[in-house]
Amino acid sequence: MQETIKHVACPYCGACCDDLEITVEDGKIIEVKNACIIGTEIYHHASREGRVGSPRRRQPDGTYKDITYEEAIDFTAKMLIKAKKPLIYGFGSTNCEGMAAAGRVAEDAGAVLDNCASICHGSSFLAIFDTGYPSCTLGEVKNRADVVIYWGSNPQHAHPRHLSRYGVFPRGYFTGKGYKGRKVIVVDPRYTDTARCADHFLQVQQGHDYELFDAFRMVMHGYADKIPAIVAGVPKEKILEVCDIIKGGRYVHIFFGMGLCHSDGRNHNVDIAINLVRDINEYTKCTIMAMRGHYNIAGPGIVWAWQFGFPYCIDLTKGSHAHMNPGETSSVDLANRGEVDAFINIGTDAGAHFPIRAFEKLGSGMPMVTIDPSVNMAATVSDVHIPVAIVGVETGGICYRMDNVPIQYRAVVEPYNGILTDEELFDRIYERMQELKKEGWTTDEGTWDYATPLADVRPVKEVYE
Protein backbone atom coordinates (compact mmCIF):
# COMPACT_ATOMS: atom_id res chain seq x y z
CA MET A 1 0.00 0.00 0.00
CA GLN A 2 1.30 3.43 -0.88
CA GLU A 3 1.79 5.92 1.91
CA THR A 4 2.89 9.56 1.59
CA ILE A 5 4.90 10.99 4.49
CA LYS A 6 4.85 14.80 4.68
CA HIS A 7 7.15 17.37 6.32
CA VAL A 8 10.25 15.23 5.95
CA ALA A 9 13.64 16.99 6.32
CA CYS A 10 16.26 16.35 3.66
CA PRO A 11 19.67 14.82 4.48
CA TYR A 12 21.68 16.60 1.85
CA CYS A 13 22.85 20.19 2.32
CA GLY A 14 22.94 22.70 5.18
CA ALA A 15 19.69 24.31 4.06
CA CYS A 16 17.87 21.28 5.57
CA CYS A 17 14.65 21.68 3.51
CA ASP A 18 11.93 20.27 5.77
CA ASP A 19 9.01 20.29 3.34
CA LEU A 20 9.71 17.03 1.50
CA GLU A 21 6.93 14.56 0.71
CA ILE A 22 8.06 10.96 0.39
CA THR A 23 5.86 8.24 -1.06
CA VAL A 24 6.65 4.76 0.27
CA GLU A 25 5.33 1.36 -0.79
CA ASP A 26 6.31 -2.00 0.83
CA GLY A 27 9.36 -0.48 2.51
CA LYS A 28 10.59 1.03 -0.79
CA ILE A 29 10.76 4.72 -1.66
CA ILE A 30 8.62 5.35 -4.75
CA GLU A 31 8.57 9.12 -5.12
CA VAL A 32 10.23 12.21 -3.62
CA LYS A 33 8.53 15.60 -3.93
CA ASN A 34 9.89 19.11 -3.30
CA ALA A 35 13.53 18.07 -2.95
CA CYS A 36 16.26 19.22 -5.31
CA ILE A 37 17.78 16.65 -7.66
CA ILE A 38 20.57 15.76 -5.21
CA GLY A 39 18.22 15.33 -2.26
CA THR A 40 15.95 13.15 -4.41
CA GLU A 41 18.89 10.89 -5.29
CA ILE A 42 19.75 10.32 -1.62
CA TYR A 43 16.28 8.83 -1.03
CA HIS A 44 16.34 6.66 -4.13
CA HIS A 45 19.86 5.51 -3.26
CA ALA A 46 18.45 3.83 -0.15
CA SER A 47 16.24 1.55 -2.25
CA ARG A 48 18.75 0.85 -4.98
CA GLU A 49 20.49 -2.47 -5.68
CA GLY A 50 24.03 -2.96 -4.44
CA ARG A 51 23.73 -1.62 -0.88
CA VAL A 52 26.18 -3.09 1.60
CA GLY A 53 24.17 -5.11 4.12
CA SER A 54 26.85 -6.24 6.54
CA PRO A 55 30.30 -5.20 7.82
CA ARG A 56 33.18 -6.23 5.58
CA ARG A 57 36.83 -7.07 6.30
CA ARG A 58 39.53 -6.41 3.75
CA GLN A 59 41.47 -9.54 2.73
CA PRO A 60 45.20 -9.67 1.90
CA ASP A 61 44.36 -9.81 -1.83
CA GLY A 62 42.32 -6.58 -1.59
CA THR A 63 38.87 -8.20 -1.83
CA TYR A 64 36.29 -7.87 0.95
CA LYS A 65 34.66 -10.62 2.95
CA ASP A 66 31.47 -10.17 5.00
CA ILE A 67 31.98 -10.36 8.76
CA THR A 68 29.58 -9.99 11.69
CA TYR A 69 28.99 -6.76 13.60
CA GLU A 70 30.63 -8.40 16.64
CA GLU A 71 33.85 -8.96 14.69
CA ALA A 72 33.83 -5.45 13.22
CA ILE A 73 33.16 -3.87 16.63
CA ASP A 74 35.90 -5.98 18.23
CA PHE A 75 38.41 -4.89 15.55
CA THR A 76 37.51 -1.22 16.03
CA ALA A 77 37.64 -1.36 19.84
CA LYS A 78 41.03 -3.08 19.85
CA MET A 79 42.39 -0.62 17.29
CA LEU A 80 41.30 2.33 19.43
CA ILE A 81 42.80 0.92 22.61
CA LYS A 82 46.12 -0.05 21.07
CA ALA A 83 46.72 3.16 19.10
CA LYS A 84 48.72 5.93 20.74
CA LYS A 85 46.81 8.64 18.92
CA PRO A 86 43.78 7.47 16.95
CA LEU A 87 41.87 9.94 14.76
CA ILE A 88 38.08 9.84 14.47
CA TYR A 89 37.04 12.10 11.62
CA GLY A 90 33.87 12.83 9.68
CA PHE A 91 30.29 13.31 10.99
CA GLY A 92 29.12 15.62 8.19
CA SER A 93 26.33 13.19 7.43
CA THR A 94 25.01 11.71 10.63
CA ASN A 95 22.75 12.81 13.47
CA CYS A 96 23.70 14.43 16.79
CA GLU A 97 22.93 11.24 18.70
CA GLY A 98 25.68 9.47 16.74
CA MET A 99 28.07 12.38 17.34
CA ALA A 100 27.50 12.29 21.11
CA ALA A 101 28.06 8.51 21.20
CA ALA A 102 31.27 8.95 19.19
CA GLY A 103 32.38 11.68 21.62
CA ARG A 104 32.13 9.19 24.46
CA VAL A 105 34.20 6.64 22.53
CA ALA A 106 36.82 9.26 21.58
CA GLU A 107 37.23 10.41 25.17
CA ASP A 108 37.62 6.86 26.38
CA ALA A 109 40.09 6.01 23.62
CA GLY A 110 42.20 9.14 24.06
CA ALA A 111 41.58 10.01 20.42
CA VAL A 112 41.53 13.13 18.30
CA LEU A 113 37.93 13.94 17.40
CA ASP A 114 37.40 16.02 14.29
CA ASN A 115 34.62 16.76 11.84
CA CYS A 116 34.35 17.90 8.23
CA ALA A 117 34.47 21.55 9.36
CA SER A 118 38.19 20.87 9.60
CA ILE A 119 38.40 21.09 5.79
CA CYS A 120 35.34 23.34 5.41
CA HIS A 121 34.05 26.09 7.72
CA GLY A 122 36.51 25.35 10.54
CA SER A 123 38.40 28.52 9.78
CA SER A 124 35.10 30.37 10.20
CA PHE A 125 34.98 28.98 13.74
CA LEU A 126 38.42 30.49 14.38
CA ALA A 127 37.15 33.87 13.22
CA ILE A 128 34.09 33.46 15.43
CA PHE A 129 36.39 32.73 18.41
CA ASP A 130 38.23 35.97 17.64
CA THR A 131 35.38 38.35 16.94
CA GLY A 132 32.01 36.79 17.68
CA TYR A 133 29.14 35.81 15.43
CA PRO A 134 26.37 38.39 14.89
CA SER A 135 24.07 35.93 13.16
CA CYS A 136 20.36 35.17 12.84
CA THR A 137 18.07 32.39 11.66
CA LEU A 138 17.20 31.77 8.02
CA GLY A 139 13.61 32.75 8.92
CA GLU A 140 14.81 36.24 9.73
CA VAL A 141 16.55 36.52 6.37
CA LYS A 142 13.38 35.38 4.61
CA ASN A 143 11.09 37.69 6.55
CA ARG A 144 13.26 40.80 6.96
CA ALA A 145 16.31 41.03 4.71
CA ASP A 146 16.03 43.47 1.81
CA VAL A 147 19.75 43.47 0.95
CA VAL A 148 21.28 40.00 0.62
CA ILE A 149 24.97 39.46 -0.09
CA TYR A 150 26.43 36.11 -1.18
CA TRP A 151 30.19 36.39 -0.72
CA GLY A 152 32.40 33.53 -1.92
CA SER A 153 29.52 31.09 -2.07
CA ASN A 154 27.55 29.57 -4.92
CA PRO A 155 24.31 28.18 -3.45
CA GLN A 156 22.78 27.57 -6.89
CA HIS A 157 25.10 24.58 -7.06
CA ALA A 158 25.86 23.76 -3.41
CA HIS A 159 22.52 24.58 -1.74
CA PRO A 160 20.11 24.37 -4.70
CA ARG A 161 16.94 25.57 -2.90
CA HIS A 162 18.62 28.23 -0.75
CA LEU A 163 17.72 31.17 -2.98
CA SER A 164 14.09 30.09 -3.36
CA ARG A 165 13.48 29.20 0.30
CA TYR A 166 15.44 31.88 2.16
CA GLY A 167 17.75 34.26 0.33
CA VAL A 168 16.30 35.83 -2.80
CA PHE A 169 12.85 34.79 -4.00
CA PRO A 170 10.55 34.04 -1.01
CA ARG A 171 7.88 36.50 0.13
CA GLY A 172 8.26 36.97 3.88
CA TYR A 173 6.38 38.94 6.53
CA PHE A 174 8.20 42.22 5.87
CA THR A 175 9.41 41.22 2.41
CA GLY A 176 6.09 40.78 0.64
CA LYS A 177 7.43 41.75 -2.75
CA GLY A 178 9.77 38.77 -2.84
CA TYR A 179 12.75 39.16 -5.12
CA LYS A 180 11.40 42.47 -6.48
CA GLY A 181 11.89 44.03 -3.05
CA ARG A 182 15.39 42.62 -2.50
CA LYS A 183 18.73 43.84 -3.70
CA VAL A 184 21.08 40.91 -4.25
CA ILE A 185 24.84 41.41 -4.32
CA VAL A 186 27.25 38.61 -5.25
CA VAL A 187 31.00 38.82 -4.70
CA ASP A 188 33.01 36.05 -6.36
CA PRO A 189 36.03 35.65 -8.63
CA ARG A 190 33.81 33.69 -11.06
CA TYR A 191 30.55 34.68 -12.74
CA THR A 192 28.62 31.87 -11.05
CA ASP A 193 25.02 30.79 -11.52
CA THR A 194 24.27 32.61 -8.27
CA ALA A 195 25.84 35.76 -9.73
CA ARG A 196 23.31 35.53 -12.59
CA CYS A 197 20.55 36.21 -10.03
CA ALA A 198 22.34 39.28 -8.64
CA ASP A 199 21.60 42.97 -9.08
CA HIS A 200 25.27 43.73 -8.51
CA PHE A 201 28.19 41.43 -9.17
CA LEU A 202 31.65 42.29 -7.84
CA GLN A 203 34.33 40.20 -9.52
CA VAL A 204 36.96 40.15 -6.81
CA GLN A 205 40.50 39.11 -7.64
CA GLN A 206 40.98 35.56 -6.37
CA GLY A 207 42.53 35.55 -2.89
CA HIS A 208 42.07 39.28 -2.27
CA ASP A 209 38.71 39.41 -0.52
CA TYR A 210 40.49 40.67 2.60
CA GLU A 211 41.54 43.88 0.85
CA LEU A 212 38.03 44.38 -0.57
CA PHE A 213 36.52 44.02 2.91
CA ASP A 214 39.03 46.57 4.16
CA ALA A 215 37.83 49.02 1.50
CA PHE A 216 34.18 48.43 2.51
CA ARG A 217 35.15 49.06 6.13
CA MET A 218 36.97 52.27 5.16
CA VAL A 219 33.67 53.56 3.74
CA MET A 220 31.87 52.66 6.98
CA HIS A 221 34.60 54.44 9.01
CA GLY A 222 34.39 57.62 6.89
CA TYR A 223 37.57 57.22 4.85
CA ALA A 224 35.93 56.65 1.46
CA ASP A 225 38.13 59.36 -0.09
CA LYS A 226 41.31 57.40 0.80
CA ILE A 227 40.30 54.25 -1.12
CA PRO A 228 42.62 53.50 -4.07
CA ALA A 229 41.06 53.64 -7.57
CA ILE A 230 40.91 49.84 -7.80
CA VAL A 231 40.83 47.42 -4.86
CA ALA A 232 41.20 43.67 -5.52
CA GLY A 233 40.07 44.19 -9.10
CA VAL A 234 36.93 46.14 -8.16
CA PRO A 235 36.69 49.86 -9.13
CA LYS A 236 36.25 52.37 -6.30
CA GLU A 237 32.96 53.66 -7.83
CA LYS A 238 31.44 50.18 -7.66
CA ILE A 239 32.48 49.80 -4.02
CA LEU A 240 30.88 53.16 -3.14
CA GLU A 241 27.70 52.28 -5.08
CA VAL A 242 27.31 48.96 -3.26
CA CYS A 243 28.08 50.59 0.12
CA ASP A 244 25.26 53.10 -0.55
CA ILE A 245 22.86 50.19 -1.16
CA ILE A 246 24.04 48.54 2.08
CA LYS A 247 23.66 51.73 4.13
CA GLY A 248 20.20 52.30 2.61
CA GLY A 249 18.97 48.78 3.38
CA ARG A 250 16.54 48.09 6.23
CA TYR A 251 18.10 44.72 6.97
CA VAL A 252 21.34 43.55 5.36
CA HIS A 253 22.47 39.93 5.46
CA ILE A 254 25.77 38.42 4.33
CA PHE A 255 26.03 34.73 3.42
CA PHE A 256 29.65 33.64 3.08
CA GLY A 257 31.08 30.40 1.78
CA MET A 258 34.35 28.68 1.24
CA GLY A 259 35.57 31.39 -1.08
CA LEU A 260 36.42 33.20 2.15
CA CYS A 261 37.33 30.43 4.54
CA HIS A 262 39.46 28.48 2.09
CA SER A 263 41.43 31.07 0.20
CA ASP A 264 44.67 32.53 1.62
CA GLY A 265 44.19 34.08 5.04
CA ARG A 266 41.23 31.78 5.76
CA ASN A 267 39.94 32.78 9.22
CA HIS A 268 41.05 36.38 8.71
CA ASN A 269 38.80 36.73 5.64
CA VAL A 270 35.84 35.68 7.76
CA ASP A 271 37.10 37.73 10.71
CA ILE A 272 37.13 40.95 8.68
CA ALA A 273 33.70 40.09 7.20
CA ILE A 274 32.30 39.83 10.73
CA ASN A 275 33.95 43.14 11.60
CA LEU A 276 32.32 44.70 8.53
CA VAL A 277 28.97 43.49 9.90
CA ARG A 278 29.75 45.30 13.15
CA ASP A 279 30.55 48.47 11.18
CA ILE A 280 27.36 48.24 9.07
CA ASN A 281 25.32 47.99 12.27
CA GLU A 282 26.29 51.62 12.94
CA TYR A 283 24.05 52.48 9.95
CA THR A 284 21.43 49.74 9.71
CA LYS A 285 20.68 46.20 10.89
CA CYS A 286 23.11 43.62 9.53
CA THR A 287 23.77 39.93 10.21
CA ILE A 288 26.07 37.26 8.79
CA MET A 289 25.91 33.50 8.31
CA ALA A 290 28.23 30.72 7.17
CA MET A 291 26.90 28.61 4.28
CA ARG A 292 27.44 25.29 6.04
CA GLY A 293 27.78 22.37 3.63
CA HIS A 294 26.20 19.17 4.92
CA TYR A 295 22.77 18.91 6.55
CA ASN A 296 24.24 18.30 10.00
CA ILE A 297 27.75 19.70 9.86
CA ALA A 298 26.65 22.38 12.31
CA GLY A 299 25.74 19.49 14.66
CA PRO A 300 29.19 18.41 15.89
CA GLY A 301 30.00 22.06 16.60
CA ILE A 302 27.00 22.17 18.93
CA VAL A 303 27.29 18.68 20.44
CA TRP A 304 31.04 18.67 21.06
CA ALA A 305 31.20 22.25 22.25
CA TRP A 306 28.75 21.04 24.91
CA GLN A 307 30.73 17.85 25.62
CA PHE A 308 34.31 19.16 25.37
CA GLY A 309 34.19 22.94 25.01
CA PHE A 310 35.44 22.95 21.42
CA PRO A 311 33.59 22.45 18.14
CA TYR A 312 36.24 20.57 16.13
CA CYS A 313 39.90 19.44 16.05
CA ILE A 314 39.57 18.16 19.62
CA ASP A 315 42.68 16.41 20.92
CA LEU A 316 41.56 14.16 23.78
CA THR A 317 44.88 12.33 24.14
CA LYS A 318 45.90 14.37 27.17
CA GLY A 319 43.26 12.75 29.34
CA SER A 320 43.09 15.63 31.79
CA HIS A 321 41.79 18.21 29.32
CA ALA A 322 40.73 18.74 25.73
CA HIS A 323 43.17 20.63 23.54
CA MET A 324 42.27 22.33 20.29
CA ASN A 325 44.53 24.10 17.83
CA PRO A 326 43.85 23.71 14.12
CA GLY A 327 47.18 23.54 12.30
CA GLU A 328 48.24 20.98 14.85
CA THR A 329 45.13 19.00 15.81
CA SER A 330 43.35 19.27 12.46
CA SER A 331 42.91 16.01 10.55
CA VAL A 332 44.78 16.96 7.37
CA ASP A 333 47.77 18.30 9.34
CA LEU A 334 47.81 15.23 11.58
CA ALA A 335 47.76 12.99 8.51
CA ASN A 336 50.34 15.01 6.58
CA ARG A 337 52.73 15.07 9.53
CA GLY A 338 52.23 11.40 10.35
CA GLU A 339 50.93 12.21 13.80
CA VAL A 340 48.21 9.57 14.11
CA ASP A 341 48.39 5.80 14.11
CA ALA A 342 44.78 4.69 13.58
CA PHE A 343 41.91 6.22 11.64
CA ILE A 344 38.12 6.03 11.70
CA ASN A 345 36.37 7.68 8.76
CA ILE A 346 32.69 8.11 9.61
CA GLY A 347 29.85 9.75 7.71
CA THR A 348 32.14 11.38 5.18
CA ASP A 349 34.75 10.43 2.60
CA ALA A 350 38.28 11.43 3.51
CA GLY A 351 39.42 9.58 0.40
CA ALA A 352 37.56 12.02 -1.83
CA HIS A 353 38.12 15.20 0.17
CA PHE A 354 41.63 15.10 1.66
CA PRO A 355 44.76 16.08 -0.23
CA ILE A 356 46.10 12.91 -1.80
CA ARG A 357 49.38 12.95 0.15
CA ALA A 358 47.50 13.21 3.44
CA PHE A 359 45.13 10.40 2.58
CA GLU A 360 47.95 8.19 1.34
CA LYS A 361 49.43 8.20 4.82
CA LEU A 362 46.09 7.38 6.44
CA GLY A 363 45.19 4.72 3.91
CA SER A 364 48.50 2.89 3.77
CA GLY A 365 50.29 3.31 7.06
CA MET A 366 47.77 2.48 9.77
CA PRO A 367 44.64 0.49 10.59
CA MET A 368 41.55 2.20 9.18
CA VAL A 369 37.82 1.73 9.66
CA THR A 370 35.13 3.37 7.52
CA ILE A 371 31.62 3.75 8.90
CA ASP A 372 29.29 4.74 6.07
CA PRO A 373 26.14 3.44 4.37
CA SER A 374 27.81 3.51 0.95
CA VAL A 375 31.02 2.20 -0.57
CA ASN A 376 32.93 5.47 -0.82
CA MET A 377 36.58 6.02 -1.73
CA ALA A 378 37.75 5.73 1.89
CA ALA A 379 35.84 2.44 2.25
CA THR A 380 37.74 0.93 -0.67
CA VAL A 381 41.05 1.10 1.22
CA SER A 382 39.77 0.49 4.77
CA ASP A 383 40.61 -2.59 6.78
CA VAL A 384 36.99 -2.74 7.91
CA HIS A 385 33.91 -1.12 6.38
CA ILE A 386 30.85 -0.97 8.63
CA PRO A 387 27.56 0.04 6.96
CA VAL A 388 25.06 2.04 9.00
CA ALA A 389 21.52 3.31 8.51
CA ILE A 390 21.09 6.49 6.43
CA VAL A 391 20.02 9.37 8.67
CA GLY A 392 16.86 11.09 7.42
CA VAL A 393 15.90 8.02 5.40
CA GLU A 394 16.27 4.94 7.62
CA THR A 395 16.70 6.56 11.02
CA GLY A 396 15.72 9.89 12.55
CA GLY A 397 17.49 12.15 15.00
CA ILE A 398 18.43 15.76 15.60
CA CYS A 399 20.30 17.68 12.92
CA TYR A 400 21.41 21.33 13.04
CA ARG A 401 20.65 23.53 10.05
CA MET A 402 23.26 26.05 8.83
CA ASP A 403 21.76 28.70 11.13
CA ASN A 404 22.17 26.36 14.15
CA VAL A 405 18.45 25.61 14.35
CA PRO A 406 17.85 21.97 15.36
CA ILE A 407 15.55 20.04 13.01
CA GLN A 408 13.98 16.71 13.96
CA TYR A 409 14.76 14.24 11.18
CA ARG A 410 12.53 11.22 10.50
CA ALA A 411 12.89 7.69 9.24
CA VAL A 412 10.71 6.91 6.21
CA VAL A 413 11.74 3.27 5.74
CA GLU A 414 13.30 0.54 7.91
CA PRO A 415 17.14 0.19 7.89
CA TYR A 416 18.32 -2.02 5.02
CA ASN A 417 19.06 -5.59 6.11
CA GLY A 418 18.65 -4.54 9.79
CA ILE A 419 21.93 -2.59 9.87
CA LEU A 420 22.76 -0.54 12.98
CA THR A 421 22.53 3.23 13.40
CA ASP A 422 25.68 5.28 14.15
CA GLU A 423 24.58 5.72 17.76
CA GLU A 424 24.00 1.99 18.32
CA LEU A 425 27.32 1.18 16.68
CA PHE A 426 29.37 3.62 18.76
CA ASP A 427 27.64 2.56 21.96
CA ARG A 428 28.56 -1.04 21.21
CA ILE A 429 32.18 -0.06 20.42
CA TYR A 430 32.29 1.73 23.78
CA GLU A 431 30.94 -1.30 25.62
CA ARG A 432 33.41 -3.60 23.89
CA MET A 433 36.26 -1.25 24.84
CA GLN A 434 35.23 -1.49 28.49
CA GLU A 435 35.24 -5.31 28.29
CA LEU A 436 38.66 -5.33 26.63
CA LYS A 437 40.13 -2.94 29.19
CA LYS A 438 38.86 -5.16 32.00
CA GLU A 439 40.60 -8.06 30.28
CA GLY A 440 43.82 -6.05 30.49
CA TRP A 441 44.06 -4.68 26.96
CA THR A 442 46.15 -1.54 26.74
CA THR A 443 48.65 0.16 24.47
CA ASP A 444 51.77 -1.85 23.74
CA GLU A 445 54.18 0.24 25.79
CA GLY A 446 54.44 3.19 28.16
CA THR A 447 51.81 4.33 30.64
CA TRP A 448 48.30 5.23 29.58
CA ASP A 449 46.95 7.08 32.60
CA TYR A 450 43.62 7.62 31.01
CA ALA A 451 42.93 3.92 30.59
CA THR A 452 42.05 3.78 34.30
CA PRO A 453 38.95 5.90 34.94
CA LEU A 454 38.77 7.87 38.18
CA ALA A 455 37.14 5.79 40.91
CA ASP A 456 34.45 8.34 41.73
CA VAL A 457 33.27 8.80 38.16
CA ARG A 458 30.44 6.48 37.24
CA PRO A 459 29.94 5.51 33.59
CA VAL A 460 27.41 7.67 31.74
CA LYS A 461 25.06 4.74 31.18
CA GLU A 462 24.91 3.93 34.89
CA VAL A 463 24.04 7.52 35.73
CA TYR A 464 21.11 7.62 33.32
CA GLU A 465 19.70 4.13 33.83
326 binds other proteins (CB under 8 A): yes
Among 76, 156, 317, 348, binds other proteins (CB under 8 A): 317
Q: Which CB atom, from 80 or from 391, has the smaller least distance to other proteins?
A: 80
Q: Which CB atom, from 230 or from 352, has the smaller least distance to other proteins?
A: 230
Q: Which CB atom, from 106 or from 138, has the smaller least distance to other proteins?
A: 106
Distance CA 41, CA 443 (A): 43
Stretch that binds other proteins, among 41-49, 144-152, 438-446, 454-462 (CB under 8 A): 438-446
- Nearest partner of 260 among 206, 320, 328, 311, judged by Cα: 206
Q: Which CB atom, from 54 or from 443, has the smaller least distance to other proteins?
A: 443
Among 21, 339, 360, 431, binds other proteins (CB under 8 A): 339
Single-letter amino acid code for the residue at 12? Y
157 binds other proteins (CB under 8 A): no
453 binds other proteins (CB under 8 A): no
Contacts by 176-183, CB closer than 8 A, 24 or more apart = 181/146, 182/145, 182/146, 182/147, 182/148, 183/146, 183/147, 183/148, 183/245, 183/249
Q: Which CB atom, from 35 or from 290, has the smaller least distance to other proteins?
A: 290
Give me the least distance between CB of 317 and other proteins, in Å please: 4
Q: Which CB atom, from 13 or from 81, has the smaller least distance to other proteins?
A: 81
130 contact partners, CB below 8 Å, separation of at least 6: 267, 271
- Nearest partner of 107 among 314, 325, 357, judged by Cα: 314
End-to-end alpha-carbon separation of the chain, Å? Answer: 39
Among 91, 216, 251, 409, binds other proteins (CB under 8 A): 216
- Nearest partner of 9 among 374, 411, 422, 416, judged by Cα: 411
Q: Which CB atom, from 264 or from 435, has the smaller least distance to other proteins?
A: 264
Interacting residues with other proteins between 173 and 212 (CB under 8 A)? 208, 210-211
Q: Which CB atom, from 97 or from 315, has the smaller least distance to other proteins?
A: 315
* Under 8 Å between Cβ of 118 and 312: yes
Stretch that binds other proteins, among 17-25, 167-175, 184-192, 220-228 (CB under 8 A): 220-228
Among 51, 84, 285, 437, binds other proteins (CB under 8 A): 84
Distance CA 404, CA 159 (A): 16
| DSSP string of 211-256, one letter each residue | HHHHHHHHHHTT-GGGS-SEETTEEHHHHHHHHHHHHH-SEEEEEE
Single-letter amino acid code for the residue at 149? I
Stretch that binds other proteins, among 213-221, 243-251, 344-352, 418-426 (CB under 8 A): 213-221
* Under 8 Å between Cβ of 86 and 329: no
Interacting residues with other proteins between 258 and 287 (CB under 8 A)? 264-265, 268, 271-272, 275, 279
Q: Which CB atom, from 199 or from 339, has the smaller least distance to other proteins?
A: 339
436 binds other proteins (CB under 8 A): no
397 contact partners, CB below 8 Å, separation of at least 6: 94, 95, 96, 97, 98, 391, 408, 409, 421, 423
Among 320, 446, 462, 463, binds other proteins (CB under 8 A): 446
Stretch that binds other proteins, among 6-14, 175-183, 285-293, 335-343 (CB under 8 A): 335-343
Give me the least distance between CB of 244 and other proteins, in Å please: 17
Contacts by 19-25, CB closer than 8 A, 24 or more apart = 22/412, 24/412, 24/413, 25/1
130 binds other proteins (CB under 8 A): yes
Stretch that binds other proteins, among 125-133, 373-381, 394-402, 457-465 (CB under 8 A): 125-133
Give me the least distance between CB of 420 and other proteins, in Å please: 27
Give me the least distance between CB of 129 and other proteins, in Å please: 3
70 contact partners, CB below 8 Å, separation of at least 6: none
Distance CA 445, CA 337 (A): 22
Interacting residues with other proteins between 378 and 407 (CB under 8 A)? none
* Under 8 Å between Cβ of 77 and 432: yes
Q: Which CB atom, from 160 or from 311, has the smaller least distance to other proteins?
A: 311
447 binds other proteins (CB under 8 A): yes
Helix (H, G, I), strand (E, B) or coil at 166: helix
- Please report, as ranges, the residues that interact with other proteins according to CB under 8 A: 83-85, 110, 126, 129-130, 208, 210-211, 213-218, 220-221, 223, 226-228, 231, 264-265, 268, 271-272, 275, 279, 317-319, 324-328, 337-341, 443, 445-450
